[in-house]
Amino acid sequence: MPLRSHLPRLVAPLAAALTLAALPSLSKGATEGAPLAPPQLPGDGIGHRDFLFTGQLDHSLFMVRGGKVVWSDRVPGAYGHVQDATVLPDGNLLLAYMTGVKIITPGKRVVWDYAAPKGAEIHTARAIGRDKVLFVQDSTQAEVLLADISKGTVERLFSLPVGDPTHVHMQTRRAVLTDQGTLLLARTDLSRVSEFDQAGREIWSAAVARPWSVQRLPDGHTLVCSFEMFIRELDAHGATVWEFSPKDAPDYAMPKWCVATRLADGDTLVANNTPVPPPGNESRAPVQAFEVSPDKRVVWALRSWSEPNLGPGWIIQYLDEPASPVAQHFGSIR
């Protein structure tokens, strides 16, 4: 498959419709004076740690350092939002945004890009070494593709069945590469998390309702965030050993989560995909991200709807946590 520049596509209204559907309940609560988060939040606010933040409906990306936005960008033509974003060790950003995947420099120069064929979607991408990108393309089936940037090629490694070939948008979400050189994938419409080797053989799986993000932890456990609004840590047998849900934080409005990340200190970082609140007292507005301790206490929360307005949370990556790519491999692919 040749590399192509970004192709124009018909913009589907699904992402906007889903977000707008959530607006009435939040707007009603705000106008009636019910706070959507505690007025005084735990932690140090936007200055807590340096981070990359992406929003949902405006294709926005923000780099925050020392409590200030030091870099921002928008991905033009993205249907809905950036689905996966990673700051690489060289400072470049790897972005998957449904209609394609690209690498851009901090100066916003496109180093490499790939446009999904009409009707296909890309929700995740991972860098391997300095010149390869592995990504999953959803269509009538899910295809695991490998781009070799130095050669200008894209090859299909293997294909996977999906639950509904006619509903491309909900087939898969986040994929990650493990330290063992395997691929861990959220197979959303199959309600299954699967681990594959380089040949495409499924070597581990667990039943999880509509998984969105996945992460293999150092002890071999797997962290999963679900569209059904729970975060679970699973052991090697697929049994739940830890779980967090909105009932554990009743003072916070939490309509939708997408990505949960276990941090090096054991806390879990979550992007809170809440609709934009109506104008008014920001101290009553919902939070856009939060960090929860192993004993399920919210120890930090981000609320920044003005100066700067970061928008609804979709992905948040702490910049002082270990980055993902150069040491990773997929089987013999390095």
- Under the banding of pLDDT at 50, 70 and 90, the label for residue 29 is very low
- Under the banding of pLDDT at 50, 70 and 90, the label for residue 80 is low
- What CATH topology corresponds to 14-318? Neuraminidase (2.120.10)
| pLDDT averaged over every residue in the chain | 88
Q: What is the DSSP letter of 189?
A: G
pLDDT digits (tens, 9 = 90+) for 261-310: 999 999 999 999 988 888 878 899 999 999 999 999 999 999 999 989 99
CA distance between the termini of the chain: 21
Written as one string, the DSSP assignment of 83-148 is: -EEEE-TTS-EEEE-BSEEEEE-TT--EEEEEEPPTT-EEEEEEEETTTEEEEEEESSSEEEEEEE
**pLDDT for 26 beyond 60:** no
Spatial separation of the C-alpha atoms in residues 41 and 280, rounded to whole Å: 17
Spatial separation of the C-alpha atoms in residues 300 and 292, rounded to whole Å: 7
What is the CB neighbour count within 10 angstroms for residue 247? 10
∠ CA 90-85-97 to the nearest 5 degrees?
130
pLDDT for residue 58: 65
Spatial separation of the C-alpha atoms in residues 259 and 186, rounded to whole Å: 11
> Closest by alpha carbon to 108, among 76, 69, 65, 143?
76
pLDDT digits (tens, 9 = 90+) for 235-245: 999 999 999 99
